[in-house]
Amino acid sequence: MQGTLLETEPQPTRPKSARDDRENRRPRGLDRKERSVAQLIAQRERGYQAAAWTMLIIGSIGCLVAPILLASLATAIESMVHPGWRLGWWPCFGLASLALVPLLFWLDARSRTQWLSNEASDESVTISQALLAPARTATASGAWGALLEIALPSVRMVLAARERSQTPVAAATLHDAAATLGFLRHFDSGVGVEELPTVKPLRVLCYLVSRDWVGVSKDGRRVWLLSESRKAIA
């Protein structure tokens, strides 16, 4: 019996795509050391969220400083100009608060740059733009910008506290953050952002920078563990 040989054509090798590279960078699971890092992240996250109430109280009080000063000035001038007719400090304070507090929030909204309208999940925004835009905002408007930076920290503290309490952190972000910290602890001088074991480095780095875990270069290309973070996870 004569056998027949079946010839099979060799399958062409599929070129490695960018999607494959991203999948290889996705952390598959956390080892024992990274799970301990995840516990440290959860502990710091609880403290970060608890601080929102302190920020809200301090910011709310700070927003009333300008109305208090204006009401005191108005009553002092009123007592000198019209001694027999006084509106009173509390009515002046109420009117000043109704006028100034909304104005401060409006000025803060006007002073914000366009990058704040992009969510952390938007990878079209570069890491350098997302992390370093606030520093550029402070000097972008010259003297007027400096005046706003003096007058608006209380407003921004209130908004930051509100954002903390109303913006939950996704479990995937916490998972990737633990994997990233576990990866960075092996490098004393930091690594390139493209080497991080995460599919979306912008989201993870924005989280880690906001919690004071890592530092990022001015061009947004290198990232490293802060000294306090290295001691905490050592």
What are the start-end ranges of the H helices in 189-226? Answer: 201-210
Which pLDDT score is estimated for 31? 66
Dihedral of alpha carbons 213, 114, 153, 144, sign: positive
CA distances from 153 to 55, 95, 131, 158, 207 (A): 11, 22, 18, 9, 21
Which pLDDT score is estimated for 122? 47
Q: What is the DSSP string of 28-78?
A: ----HHHHHHHHHHHHHHHHHHHHHHHHHHHHHHHHTHHHHHHHHHHHHHH
pTM as predicted: 0.63
pLDDT at 93 over 70: yes
Would you give the end-to-end CA distance of the chain in angstroms? 71
Which pLDDT score is estimated for 219? 84
Burial class (CB in 10 A: 0-12, 13-18, 19+), 112: middle
Which pLDDT score is estimated for 87? 77
Please state, for a pLDDT cut of 70, what percent of the chain lies above it.
68
* Res. 8 pLDDT band, cuts 50 70 90: very low
Q: What is the mean pLDDT of residues 33-42?
A: 85
Of 109 and 103, the structure prediction assigns the larger pLDDT to 103
Which pLDDT score is estimated for 119? 43
Condensed to tens digits (0 to 9), the pLDDT of residues 51-92 reads 999 999 999 999 998 899 999 998 888 888 877 767 788 999
pLDDT at 206 over 70: yes
Token pair in block for residue 97: 């608060």
Which pLDDT score is estimated for 115? 42
What's the number of CA atoms in the CB half-sphere (13 Å) around residue 16? 5
**Distance (Å, whole) CA 76 – CA 74:** 5
Other Cβ atoms less than 10 A from the Cβ of 193: the count is 21
Q: What is the mean pLDDT of residues 34-57?
A: 88
pLDDT at 197 over 60: yes
Please state, for a pLDDT cut of 90, what percent of the chain lies above it.
24
Q: What number of residues does the chain have?
A: 234
Which pLDDT score is estimated for 126? 59
Dihedral of alpha carbons 50, 52, 57, 61, sign: positive
Q: What is the mean pLDDT of residues 141-160?
A: 72
In this structure, of 75-89, 101-115, 139-153, 198-212, the range with the lowest mean pLDDT score is 139-153
**Distance (Å, whole) CA 155 – CA 136:** 19
Taking a C-beta distance cutoff of 8 angstroms, is the pair 216, 209 a contact?
A: yes
CA angle 141, 58, 165 (to 5 degrees): 90
